Amino acid sequence: MRRRTRRRRRNVNLISINKIAFFCLFLSIITVCAVFGAPQKAVNKIIEKKTDITVPAESQTVKIDTEIKKGEIKSVSSFLPSGYSDITDAESRAKELLQNASNDGKIISEDYSSKNATSAIGSLYLRNTTKKSDINFDDFLKKKIFASIDKDKTKPVVLVYHTHASESYQVTENGFYSNSLVADSGTLGIVRVGDALCRKIESLGYEVIHDRTVYDTSYSGAFERSREKISDILRANPSIQIVIDLHRDSITRKDGSKVKTVTEIDGKKTAQIQIITGCEDGAVKNFPNWEKNLTFALRLQKNISDSYPHAARPLLFCARKYNMDLVPCALNIEIGTDANTLREAVYSAEILAGGVAEIIKECEKQ
């Protein structure tokens, strides 16, 4: 009996020791998770914070799903700061950080008003990258623009949107490119340039819709996503005749230097405009309005070039569609490059607005 009792006691002791060991191991695992999990949570918070910075604030983003039903999407120009106060503030902050800013490459300022042009009509330069080498651009320039604009000033006639809303500019001109001095795309990037374009068109007497939706949270599929929403806006607002997908270009040379396309207008450095229009060519199909788009593009380019001979780069005629098939007067337009400053791009947008307003006036119903 004693032997059995001793064995039982040994077994009980072993079980107790095992339980204690298991409990200690469990506590160790929890401690390790707590120690290493905390930094990960901190990283996640930083990532979330970065995401908030690059995406426009909800109050500044057009809520398309809600407003389309009402047909009341309006330009955001009413809540923009007057003049350039927000840009001036950003420039001041950037200058304070200039000493510690990274130097990530040389910036080369160039006038691209005739660079890479394949033909010219007066002061209007063109770059044809299609197989349509026999096309007579002068004939298209003389055609009537396919748009009929109602004189009712309360209805929107222009839609501005950004398939790549995350495109941004340098905050200040430093003589070098700096990744640490890139303007926040959420408030001071291409969407801010779109704000300036819309406000100027409105000041000239025409209603504009500015869709500030961010479609390039993922670069892949951005054009498909913007197409879906823009189609909805057009259905809800049949008065819209002109559609502009506003972008910013980027030109980087083999040595890593960046080119900013720039000219001087009225004593101000101004980012140059590149109008892009496409056609059915090669793999590009189902673009029935391309000839009408080309006429619109040429006339807009002429309006700008006649008033400001160096404000625009050669009109790019290419085998692309870029959602320009949605209406006969739809274009993809780039303002400057990532080496231009935001201020230079905003000046340029105001010049573009004047050219657009001339088209609208010409197309108003008599």
Q: Domain-by-domain residue ranges, the chain?
A: 1-54, 56-363
Q: How confident is the model at residue 197 (pLDDT cuts 50, 70, 90)?
A: very high
What pLDDT digit, counting tens, does each position of 73-130 carry? 445 444 455 568 999 999 999 999 988 999 999 999 999 999 999 999 999 999 999 9
pLDDT digits (tens, 9 = 90+) for 16-40: 544 445 555 555 544 434 434 433 3
Rounded percentage of the chain residues whose pLDDT exceeds 70 = 77
Q: Which residue has the tokens 């320039």?
A: 141
- Residue 48 — pLDDT band, cuts 50, 70, 90? very low
- Say if residues 201 and 353 touch (Cβ distance below 8 Å): yes
Contacts 24+ apart (CB under 8 A), 56-62: 56/165, 56/186, 56/187, 56/191, 56/212, 56/214, 57/186, 57/187, 60/187, 60/212, 61/212, 61/213, 61/214, 62/209, 62/210, 62/211, 62/212, 62/213
pLDDT exceeds 90 at position 72: no
Quick check: helix, strand or coil at residue 263? strand
Residue-level pLDDT at 61: 29
Q: Between 276 and 81, where is the model more confident?
A: 276
Which residues fall within 8 angstroms of residue 307, CB to CB, at 6 or more apart? 351, 354, 355
If we measure between CA atoms, which residue out of 350, 22, 360, 366 comes closest to residue 195?
350
Using CB atoms within 10 Å of the CB of residue 281, give its burial: 0 to 12 exposed, 13 to 18 middle, 19+ buried.
Answer: middle
Indicate the average pLDDT of the chain.
Answer: 82
| Residue 92 burial (CB count, 10 A) | 11
Mean pLDDT of the 235-261 span: 97
Confidence at 55, pLDDT banded by 50, 70, 90: very low
- pLDDT score, position 81: 55
C-alpha–C-alpha distance, residues 199 and 364, integer Å: 20
Is the confidence at residue 207, as pLDDT, over 90? yes
Question: What's the mean pLDDT in 299-320?
Answer: 97
Identify the CATH homologous superfamily for domain 56-363: Zn-dependent exopeptidases (3.40.630.40)
Mean pLDDT, range 135-141, rounded to an integer: 95
Q: How confident is the model at residue 50 (pLDDT cuts 50, 70, 90)?
A: very low
Mean pLDDT of 347-355: 97
Q: How far is CA 265 from the centre of its chain?
A: 24
Q: What 8-state DSSP symbol labels residue 84? A: T
The pLDDT, as a whole number, for residue 82 is: 57
Of 258, 280, 338, 348, nearest to 311 (Cα)? 348
Res 66: pLDDT: 29
Whats the size of the chain, residue-wise? 366
Residue 17: per-residue pLDDT: 45
pLDDT at 78: 47
Residue 29 CB coordination number (10 Å): 10
b/e map 113-125, b = 16+ CB within 10 Å: beeebeeebebbb
Q: Tell if the pTM clears 0.85, that is, is over it.
A: no
Q: What pLDDT is attached to residue 244?
A: 98
Question: In the predicted model, what is the mean pLDDT of residues 54-82?
Answer: 37
Q: According to the model, what pLDDT value does residue 77 have?
A: 47
- DSSP class per residue in 218-256: SSTTHHHHHHHHHHHHHHH-TT--EEEEEEEE--B-TTS
pLDDT of residue 216: 94
Measure the CA–CA gap between 244 and 145, rounded to whole angstroms: 16
Residue 80 confidence (pLDDT): 54
Write down the pLDDT at residue 38: 37
Q: Which is more confident, 271 or 187?
A: 271
